[in-house]
Amino acid sequence: MAKSFKGGIHPPYHKNLTKDKEIRTASEPKEVVLPLSQHTGTICTPLVVVGDTVKVGQKIGDSDKLISAPIHASISGKVKAIEPRLHPSGSKILSIVIESDGQNTVHESIAPFPPLEKLTREEIRKIVRNAGIVGMGGAAFPTHVKLSPPPEKKISHIIINGSECEPYLTCDHRLMLEEPEKIILGTKAIMKAAGAINGIIAIEDNKPDVIKIMQKLIKGTLNLKVIIVKTKYPQGGEKQLIKAILNKEVPSGGLPMDVGVVVNNVGTAAQIAKTLLTGMPLIDRIVTITGSGVKNPSNLRVKIGTSIDFALQECGGLQGETGKIMFGGPMMGLAQTSVDVPITKYNNGVIVLSRKEVTILRDDPCMRCGKCIEACPIGLMPNFLGDAGQTSNWKRAKELSVKDCIECGCCTYVCGSERLLVHYIKLAKNALQNKLEKRKTK
Amino acid sequence: MSEKLILSVSPHIHSGESIRKAMREVFIALVPAMAAGVFFFGIKALILIVSLMAASIITEFIMLKILGKPVKGLDGSAGITGLLLALILPPIYPIWMGIIGIVIAIVIAKHLFGGLGYNIFNPALVARAALLASWPIATTTWIKPLQFLSKEWWGNIPSLDAITQATPLGITKLAALGQTTESLPSYFNMFIGNRGGSIGETCIIALLIGGIYLLWKKVITWHIPVCYIGTVFVLSALLGKDPLFHVLAGGLVIGAFFMATDYVTAPVTSKGKIIFGLSCGVLTVLIRLYGGFPEGVNYAILLMNIGTPLLDKYTQPRVYGKK
C-alpha cells in the first residue's frame, strides 16, 4: 500500500507532455543574468566588478551570514553589468550580468573532491556551502544549513523527495530515470553530513519505472530504502512526506529537524553528487519547459541565469495565444510579467498556458460547501481564513493558525465559489509578519 | 512579446467547480422528484413549481439591483430556493401564497442576512414555516394522488372533500386522537409516492435517485443524510414506533438530502455535519411523536441551523503539528 496523508487533491497532471522526453542540454546562452539572491536568506554581495573576466564555476557573489548561499558564474566571459534586474519573484534584484566569450573556460579552482569515505561531515557541509547548493525542488533553502543541525537535534532519517507532485513537472522524474546513481551518492553524502542512519527515497506511485530502477540500485544497501507514496498533491510537501512515511508531525512553527528528519529534493542530492565528483558548483539545472503554449515541450538542462526567452526558443518557441507564463508548477508557481527573467537555482519548471486555459476566478462569496476544509492537508479552515484575510481581520487569521498554511493551493483549486483563498491567506501572513517586525524594531 | 501576460496569485489551475455548477447539479438531482410530483398530483403541481421558480429569480434580481450588487450574482441559487419551496408545498397550493413565501425566502431569509453564503436559515424552510403560520389550512390541505385515474376527476369539478387526503403522518396523529378512519398507505405506495403529501416529498425512490446523484457528483457528503435518516430510524424504533414508516413518511428524505445539506446553513466540517444530522434526527422524532404538529423535519432543520456557527467553531479539525 502506498503511503499518504489526509486531504489533498488530484489535479490533471499533464505529465505526458514531457515525461518520456530525455534531458537535453540547451545551447550556450550569449548572456546570463545571475541575481544575487537565488535562495532563502541574506542576499549576496558581488565579488567581481564590471569589466572583470570570469570563468565557469568562479564564485562571484557571497555573504558571511549563515542562511545564504554563494553565486557562481555559469559561463565564462566578461561582467557586463551589476545592476537591479527583474527577478522571478517580480521585483528587481541586484544581479550580475555576464556576457559570454563563447569559450566556456572552467575556473582553475574546479577539481574533483576525494571520495565520500575520505571526507568528514564538516568537509561535506563546507563543500555543499561553497558550491552554492540550495533546495532545487522550489524551496531554495540553503542546503548546508539543513545539513548542519544543532548538536541537540539528532537526525535519524533523511528523506530524498522524488514525489514531484506538481502537475506538468517531470524534471525530477527524468533525473531519477537518467542519473539514479548520482541521486544515491548524493543521498549518502547527505546522510553522512547530517549524521543520519536511515535514508529514504520517496517516490509517487505514478512513476513505476523509477521505482523499479531505484529499488534495483539500492539492493543490498542496508540503510537505504525506497518508499512508495500515493500520487496526490501535495505529496511532495515535506510535512506531508514526513507524515506519510514516518507518521510524525513537524511541530507548528518548527522544522523537520525537530522530529529528526531532513528532507531534500532529488535534484539537490544529484547536484551534491555532481559537485563531489567534478568539483563544479551549482551552475546549471534541469527545467521542465512545457504547457500547451510551447511548441516542443522538453526537459532542458540550462545554465543558471539563462533567460526564459532563450530557454523557450530552445524548445521551438511559443505557439498560439499565450495567456500565462509561470515559474514552477501550476499549483505554487509564480506568474511572470515578462520572458526577460532569468532561470534561477530553484526554478524547476517554465509552464506556458494558452489564453483559453487561464481561468480567471470570480471570487464569489463563500457558499460554505466545506470542500476546502476536506482538501487542506494541514487541517486548516481556508474558508474562514479567506474571510479573515478579506476583511483584514488579522487577529482572527492568527487564531485560525494562518502561519501553518503551506500555500499549496488545494483550497483555491477546489473552491466552488472560486475564491482567491491563497491570496487572502498571503495577505494575512504578510500583515502579521510586518506587525511582528514592527514590534521587534520598537 | 507584444501580447500582455496574465498575472495572478497561485494556484494557476482550478477544478472548474462553481456555484452555478453546484446549483445545476442540485436541479438535475431534483428532476426525478419533480417528475414524480407532477405525475402523482397533476399539472397544477407543475404550474406551481414553474411559477415559484420564476418568482424567485425575479425577486432575487430585484434584490440584487436594490442592494447594488452585481447581477452576476444571479447564480441559480434563487431558482433552487423556488423549486425547493414548491416541492414542500401542497400540490393545489394557491400560487399567490407561494409567491409571498418566495418573497419571505429571498428578501427576508436570504438578502436581509447578507445574501448567499451569509443567511443563517434555509430560505425555503423559513418560507414554509411562515406560510404554515399564516395560512395553516391551505398549507396542510393535501390531495389524493393519481386523481386522473378516478371517475370524479373527469366529471364535474369535484368538491375539496372528495379529493383531499391526509398525509401518512397526519393520519397517525389524527388516529391517535380518534379523529380519522383513513388507513395508512402500504410501504410500497409510500416508497413510490402514491400517497398524500407535498409535491416533492412523497416519491422516496425519486428522492433517493437524486440524493445518490448528489453523492456521486460529490455535491454533498454522506454525513448529514445518513446520520439524519439513521437517527430517525433508530430512535423511532427505540421509542416503539414503526421505524420504516417514519423514514418513508413526511419530508424526511427530501429534508435529509436536499434541505439539511444546504451548504450555507449546515456546518462546514465533517464532524459538525455528523452532529448536525444526528440532532436533526432527534428533533424530528421528538416533534413528530410529542409535538403538536404531525411533521417535524421543517422545524428540526431550522432549529439546527441556529447551531451551525457553534458546530463550526467546536468541530475545527486539528491543525498539523499542533496538539
Mind listing the pLDDT tens digit for each residue in A227-280? 999 999 999 999 999 999 999 999 999 999 999 999 999 999 999 999 999 999
Helix (H) or strand (E) holding A352: strand A349-354
Phi and psi (nearest 5°) for B192?
Answer: -90, -10
* Homologous superfamily of A111-278: NADH-ubiquinone oxidoreductase 51kDa subunit (3.40.50.11540)
Confidence at residue B271, expressed as pLDDT on a 0 to 100 scale:
95
**By C-alpha distance, which of A187, A168, A167 is closest to A176?**
A187
B155 pLDDT tier (thresholds 50, 70, 90): low
Closest CA relative to residue A276, chosen from A192, A157, A182: A182
Contacts of A55 (CB under 8 A, 6+ apart): A73, A76, A105, A106, A107, A108
Spell out the residues 6+ positions from residue B64 whose beta carbon is closer than 8 angstroms to its own.
B70, B71, B73, B74
Q: Which residues of A300-333 are buried (b: 16+ CB within 10 A; e: fewer)?
A: bbbbbbbbbbbbbebbeebeeebbbbbbbbbbbb
Do B277 and B224 touch, CB atoms closer than 8 A?
A: yes
**Does the pLDDT value for residue B156 go beyond 80?**
no
Neighbours of A107 (CB within 10 A): 17
Inter-chain CB proximity B17 and A338 less than 8 Å: no
The one-letter amino acid code at A214 reads: M
Question: Which band of pLDDT confidence, cut at 50, 70 and 90, is reported for residue B74?
Answer: confident
Would you call A362 and B270 a contact, using CB atoms and an 8 Å cutoff?
no
Q: Verify whether the Cβ–Cβ distance A339 to B1 is below 8 Å.
A: yes
Number of C-beta neighbours around residue B36 at 10 A: 24
Dig out the grid coordinates for A387 from the structure.
474571510
pLDDT computed for residue A428 by the predictor: 95
Percentage of residues in chain B with pLDDT exceeding 70? 93
Cis check: omega of the bond before A234, within 30 degrees of 0: yes
Q: In this complex, do B317 and A383 lie within 8 Å of one another by their Cβ atoms?
A: no
Is residue B152 helix, strand or coil?
helix
* Smallest CA–CA distance from A409 into chain B, residue: B11
Tell me if B15 and A366 make a contact (CB, 8 A cut-off). Answer: no
Interchain contact, A369 vs B116, CB within 8 Å: no
Q: What are the tens digits of pLDDT across the range B109-141?
A: 999 999 888 999 999 999 999 999 999 999 988
Per-residue pLDDT tens over the stretch B270-312: 999 999 999 999 999 999 999 888 889 999 999 999 999 999 9
Q: Which of A406-420, A425-439, B164-178 has the lowest mean pLDDT?
A: B164-178
Residues of B with CB under 8 A from a CB of A: 1, 3, 5-19, 21-22, 72-73, 75, 77, 115-118, 221, 263-264, 266-270, 273, 312, 316-322
Candidates B320, B322, B323, partner chain A, best to mutate (most A CBs within 10 A): B320
Question: Which ranges of chain B does DSSP label H, i.e. alpha helix?
Answer: 19-41, 43-66, 77-87, 95-103, 123-134, 151-154, 160-163, 168-176, 187-192, 204-216, 223-238, 243-248, 252-254, 270-290, 297-314
Contact at CB, A331 and B13, closer than 8 angstroms: yes
The β-bridge relationship of strands A45-46 and A59-62 is: antiparallel
The full set of domain ranges for chain A reads 111-278, 371-441
Q: B11 preceded by cis ω (within 30°)?
A: yes
Nearest CA in chain A to B117: A367
Q: Taking Cα atoms as reference points, which of A379, A383, A384 lies closest to residue A416?
A: A383
Task: Scan for cell 475545527, then name that residue.
Answer: B316
CB-closest option in A324, A333, A368 to B5: A324
How many CB atoms sit inside 10 A of residue A422's CB?
A: 26
Q: Do the chains contact at B12 and A366, CB–CB below 8 Å? A: no
A422: nearest CB among B10, B13, B269:
B10
- Contact residues, chain B, for A366 at CB < 8 Å: 117
B117:A367 CB<8 A? yes
Q: Which residues of A touch B15 (CB under 8 A)?
A: 9, 11, 413-415
Q: Contact at 8 Å (CB) between A35 and A342?
A: yes
Given a contact cutoff of 8 angstroms between Cβ atoms, the answer to whether A300 and A289 are in contact is yes
Buried b (16+ CB within 10 A) or exposed e, B130-148: bbbeebeebbbbbbbbebe
Cell numbers for A285, please give them: 539545472
Distance from CA of B299 to the nearest CA of A (A): 22
Higher pLDDT, B176 or A81: A81
pLDDT for the residue B154: 55
* CB-defined contacts A:B, below 8 A: 166
For residues B30 and A350, the answer to whether their CB atoms sit within 8 Å is no
Hey, of A371, A399, A411, A430, which one would you mutate to test binding to chain B, going by the most B CBs within 10 A of its CB? A371
Query: Does the structure show a pLDDT above 90 at B165?
Result: no
Distance between CA A174 and CA A152 in Å, rounded?
37
Per-residue b or e along B173-209, where b marks 16 or more CB atoms closer than 10 Å to that residue's CB: beeeeeeeeeebbeeeebbbbbbbbbbbbbbbebbbe
What residue of B is the nearest CA neighbor of A317?
Answer: B1
